Structure 1
Amino acid sequence: MINNDVLRRVRFALRINDGNAIDIFKLVDYDMDKDYLQSIMKKDEEAGFLPCRDKTLAMFLDGLVIQRRGKKEGALPNKLKAGEKLSNNDILRKLRIAMSYRDEDMIEILRYANFRIGKTELSALFRKADHRNYKDAGDQIVRNLLQGMVRKYRPEAAKDSTSKKTYSKLQSLPAENNKPTNKQAPRMHYSQKTEKQVAPNTPVNHDIWGKPKPKK
């Protein structure tokens, strides 16, 4: 899953238009150029597409943490150094902090995408890399978390979340709709949702690290 897709889906799920995105980058002392921002929001087959660098996505997610959780006094922006990569585990961790997700919240969000995971499997993704129970996160769990966020926060447009039409809708959103509020993303348990609100997909027969499940 490329960084452009992650940026695009996070922005859509949380109703973040260009102006708000630029403000988020400013929170980590980065002046994002609007033309460049629009280029990394394009799909790779579109004219003017530019790849979103790991450093750029990391700054956006760090800015999102500050916007939603506040900035620690005296803390400096922790930007990726040259050669450093942003892993899927890092993306999950930053989203978890920004959204104040507990284990139960992440499991619930993933259920919106018909993706099942246990607490033990989930906790392995947030261990330190040198921990014996640490596991690398695959593209699948990142993709399903973002899909679950779209289905929870934008159920009216979940099927169109990565299309060009959707991005044009995003640009027309008023700024006040982009502020993180409890009303915008009410907490509800999955068992309270109806089938109409969460359209089920066919379950995928592999685990979160992309390995096929053995046939019984």
Structure 2
Amino acid sequence: MTFNDVLRRLRFTLHINNEAIIDLCAKGGKELLPAKLDQYLKREDEEEYEECSAEDGSAFLDGLIIWKRGPSDGAPKAKGKVVLDNNIILRKLRIAFELRDTDMLRVLELAEMQISKSELSAFFRTPKHRNYMEVQSQLLRRFMVGLDKYLRL
């Protein structure tokens, strides 16, 4: 699942406009120009579509965490190459919306997807752990659908 899809779905779920997305990216430490955001929000088959960079996607999610939970008192953010895969997206959404295991299972249940608690915990392990599992795009898509329903309850 591309981050462009995640961005469009979160924009709809949270009822936020382009200015709010730009503000969240700024809170996450990255300036996003309105023209670039317009390219990210376009569908893949539209002209001028551009895939969202990992840096912009990560900055948006970090800004979302700050918006929902407040600034972190912890250590400064590590610098270097930003990786944004489905596991990291799921982890950041979990943090932003303060979801516990039971909440996440409920979100997936609302999207008509059943997984066990142990399967869920495997998504949050380090990649080198023997029980680590990659989050598939279908699960992340379903999670986003369920999150929309969960937040509207």
TM-score (structure 1 length as normaliser) = 0.66
Match of 1:95 among 93, 96, 102: 93
Q: 1: CA distance between counterparts of 2:86 and 2:49?
A: 22
- Identity %, equivalent residues: 41
State which drifts further: 65-74 or 136-145. 65-74
Cα 1:51–1:102, aligned 2, differ >3 Å: closer, same or farther? same
Gaps of 5+ in 2: none
2:146 is aligned with 1:148: yes
* Pair member with larger Rg: 1
Structure 1 consecutive aligned stretches of length 4 or more whose deviation exceeds 6 Å = none
Partner of 1:37: 37
Q: 2: CA distance between counterparts of 1:116 and 1:80?
A: 36
Partner of 2:20: 20
Match of 1:134 among 124, 132, 135: 132
Cα 1:18–1:79, aligned 2, differ >3 Å: closer, same or farther? farther
> In angstroms, what is the RMSD of aligned CA positions?
1.7
Gaps of 5+ in 1: 154-184, 187-216
Tell me, yes or no, if the aligned pair for 1:55 and 1:79 is still in contact at 8 Å.
no
Tell me, yes or no, if the aligned pair for 2:25 and 2:63 is still in contact at 8 Å.
yes
> Highest relative contact order (Cα 8 Å, sep 6+), 1 or 2?
1
Cα 1:7–1:125, aligned 2, differ >3 Å: closer, same or farther? same
Equivalences, count: 153
Cα 1:127–1:41, aligned 2, differ >3 Å: closer, same or farther? same
Q: What letter is aligned with 2:47? A: A
Structure richer in helix, relative to its length: 2
Q: 2: CA distance between counterparts of 1:33 and 1:14?
A: 20
Partner of 1:203: none
Tell me, yes or no, if the aligned pair for 2:26 and 2:59 is still in contact at 8 Å.
no
